[in-house]
Amino acid sequence: MLIRSHFTHDDNAMVDMVNSLPPDAYFLECDGSVHDGLGTIQKGKLIQLHFRLCGGKGGFGSLLRSFRIHKSNNQLMCRNLAGRRLADVREEERLKKYVEKKEQREKEKKKKEEEKIDKLKNGAKTKHEFTDQEYLRKRDTVLDVVEDAVEAGVLALEAKQQEITDGQKSTENNDVFNPVEEFAGPSTSSNIESTTAMVNEECSDSDESLDGLMSCGPLKKKVKFGG
């Protein structure tokens, strides 16, 4: 017997088969409502037969949700119908856009450089006026004070050097014109005159004067000459 899912009360074979089934093995649907038997359904209506299935332990929905969580949204490693990876296709499109905009970027860069050059040229003509009178007054005062201090220091240094030079010259003159006249043996007027002549000659030529002085006799004390 062929079991159909749709039938009416006029189909006696289907009616007898449904009545022979256990009540918990099926349910009937008519006009969108569920019925447990044929007695609650009017004649002439189209009836749909549904067999009941044994339920499982459950948990299948939880399993589907776990699969959805672990599912990756990264589709770049997938391949299109041409066999190319989506990541490669996207990179190629990005490079094409970059090359297309290269000329525009070069124009913008050149324009910025020209604007910068024009700005530098025009900036040299710009004049800035500083009008802080208090600052200008203090600056002039500081410059004058520093200049006076430097001049005073230079004059003091020159005076100190002049004093040192004069002291050295006076010392040299005393050493030259006050020789020690101590000789070994008796002194005579001829020896003194000879020594004085030699000292005067030393002022013109120190080497010859020293040789002449040593020829007069041995000196107990060396005479210091300025040279």
Q: What is the pLDDT of residues 64-99, one digit of tens each?
A: 777 776 666 777 888 888 889 999 999 999 999 988
Convert the pLDDT of each residue in 106-165 to its tens digit: 999 999 999 988 888 876 566 667 778 888 889 889 999 999 999 999 999 999 998 888
One domain, residues 192 and 162: no
Tell whether 39 is covered by a domain: yes
Q: Which residues make Cβ contacts (< 8 Å) with residue 212, sequence separation at least 6?
A: 198, 201
**CA 209 – CA 201 distance, rounded (Å):** 6
Q: Is residue 94 part of a domain?
A: no
Q: What is the DSSP letter of 7?
A: E
CB-neighbour burial class of residue 14 (10 A; exposed 0-12, middle 13-18, buried 19+): buried
Give the bridge partners for 26, in sequence order.
51
Integer Cα distance of 125 and 31 in angstroms: 95
Name the range with the highest mean pLDDT among 57-61, 186-190, 203-207: 57-61
The reply to whether 87 falls in a domain is: no
Distance of CA 134 to the CA centre of its chain: 40
Count of structural domains within the chain: 3
Band of the pLDDT at 227, cuts 50, 70, 90?
A: very low
85 in a structural domain: no
Contact 39, 9 (CB under 8 A): no
Residues 47, 22 share a domain: yes
pLDDT value, residue 187: 47
pLDDT of residue 123: 67
Instruction: Report yes or no: 1 and 17 within 8 Å, Cβ to Cβ.
Output: yes
Domain span at residue 192?
A: 180-221
- My answer on whether 20 and 39 are in the same domain is yes
pLDDT in tens, 175-187: 554 544 444 444 4
Residue-level pLDDT at 151: 92
Mean pLDDT of 211-223: 44
The stretch 207-225 carries a mean pLDDT of 45
What's the rounded mean pLDDT across residues 198-205?
Answer: 51
State the burial class of residue 27 (Cβ atoms within 10 Å of its Cβ: 0-12, 13-18, 19+). middle
CB-facing half-sphere around the CA of 136: CA atoms within 13 A: 5
pLDDT, position 217: 46
- pLDDT confidence band for 44 (50 / 70 / 90): confident
Please state, for a pLDDT cut of 90, what percent of the chain lies above it.
17
Q: What's the pLDDT at 90?
A: 92
Contact yes or no for 15/9 (Cβ under 8 A): yes
Is 57 a member of any domain?
no
* Category of 59 on φ-ψ map: left (φ > 0), alpha (ψ -120 to 50) or beta: left
pLDDT of residue 221: 42
